[in-house]
């Protein structure tokens, strides 16, 4: 996909950050004009260039120059510490975002040595991505696994079926490509997701 020049000039910085913090940081360039991901480096969030940024429409003009660090949950349960800086054109209009997602899952086990990384009261989420259905699915799946004393990789076939039923109840599949994403997270085919969903509909027919 073609990247607009206002955002393209931040590619070297994005690549440098991703290279310096590899493999612990994912760097994302968002195009706020098209609400899509323009570029992605060291991706570990199952996203790719061209995917929707899931930004709240009509609010980009109110963004500060940067967002204070906030926590997110990755699809595989890893805890991420993220921050976002805005990109403006020559007229001062916000045209993009530079986001850094730092994997702190390993660092959490070393809190006493890395208090600066993990300490402090941070927001549980940012209004910037309040409609990020991927984030909501990630959190829901891993909370389910935790409540059932298991992990994502050890979920049984029946547990995966139950997760899909519960996600449907929460309205998760209203989002475009949600079925494909859930299939990817659970390690099953998209056809299997649809099969389970049809089974649920059959039970309530």
Give the domain-ending residue among 81, 98, 129. 129
| Residue 89: CATH number of its domain | 3.30.450.20
State whether 118 and 163 are in the same domain. no
pLDDT digits (tens, 9 = 90+) for 158-177: 999 999 999 998 888 988 88
Q: How confident is the model at residue 196 (pLDDT cuts 50, 70, 90)?
A: very high
Helical spans, DSSP H, in the chain: 5-8, 11-21, 115-118, 133-147, 157-169, 178-186, 190-203
State whether 11 and 71 are in the same domain. yes
State whether 55 and 151 are in the same domain. no
The crossing angle, in degrees rounded to 10, of helices 157-169 and 190-203 is 70
Q: By residue range, what is the domain housing residue 62?
A: 5-129
Which tops the pLDDT comparison, 5 or 118?
Answer: 5
Total number of domains in the chain: 2
State whether 104 and 156 are in the same domain. no
Closest by Cα among 99, 188, 108 to 141: 188
State whether 90 and 164 are in the same domain. no
Determine the average pLDDT of the residues in 196-201: 83
Q: How confident is the model at residue 105 (pLDDT cuts 50, 70, 90)?
A: confident
Which tops the pLDDT comparison, 20 or 132?
Answer: 20
* pLDDT higher than 70, residue 98: yes
State whether 38 and 91 are in the same domain. yes
State whether 56 and 95 are in the same domain. yes
Structure tokens at 153: 């990789």
Contact between 118 and 104 under an 8 Å Cβ cutoff? The reply is: yes
Give the domain-ending residue among 129, 152, 187. 129
Average pLDDT in the chain? 86
Give the domain-ending residue among 103, 129, 155. 129
pLDDT of 37 reads 96
Closest by Cα among 53, 35, 55 to 45: 53
State whether 55 and 122 are in the same domain. yes
pTM: 0.65
State whether 116 and 34 are in the same domain. yes
Which tops the pLDDT comparison, 30 or 121?
Answer: 30
State whether 60 and 36 are in the same domain. yes
State whether 115 and 144 are in the same domain. no
Q: How confident is the model at residue 205 (pLDDT cuts 50, 70, 90)?
A: very low
pLDDT digits (tens, 9 = 90+) for 137-155: 998 999 999 899 888 989 9
Q: How confident is the model at residue 135 (pLDDT cuts 50, 70, 90)?
A: confident
State whether 9 and 74 are in the same domain. yes
């Amino acid at each position: 996909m073609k990247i607009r020049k206002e955002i393209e000039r931040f590619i070297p910085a994005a690549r440098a950050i991703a290279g310096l913090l590899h493999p612990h940081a994912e760097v994302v360039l968002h195009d706020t004009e098209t609400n899509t991901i323009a570029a992605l480096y060291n991706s570990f969030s199952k996203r790719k260039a061209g995917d929707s940024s899931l930004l709240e429409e009509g609010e980009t003009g109110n963004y500060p120059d940067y967002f204070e660090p906030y926590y997110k949950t990755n699809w595989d349960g890893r805890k991420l510490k993220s921050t976002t800086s805005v990109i403006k054109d020559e007229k001062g209009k916000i045209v993009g975002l530079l986001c850094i997602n730092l994997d702190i899952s390993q660092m959490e086990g070393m809190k006493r040595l890395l208090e600066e990384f993990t300490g402090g009261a941070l927001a549980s989420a940012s209004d910037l991505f309040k409609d990020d259905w991927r984030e909501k699915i990630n959190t829901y799946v891993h909370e389910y696994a935790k409540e059932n004393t298991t992990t994502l990789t050890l979920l049984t076939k029946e547990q995966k079926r139950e997760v899909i039923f519960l996600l449907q109840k929460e309205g998760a599949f209203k989002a475009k490509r949600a079925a494909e994403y859930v299939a990817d997270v659970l390690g099953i085919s998209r056809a299997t997701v649809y099969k389970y969903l049809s089974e649920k509909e059959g039970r309530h027919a």
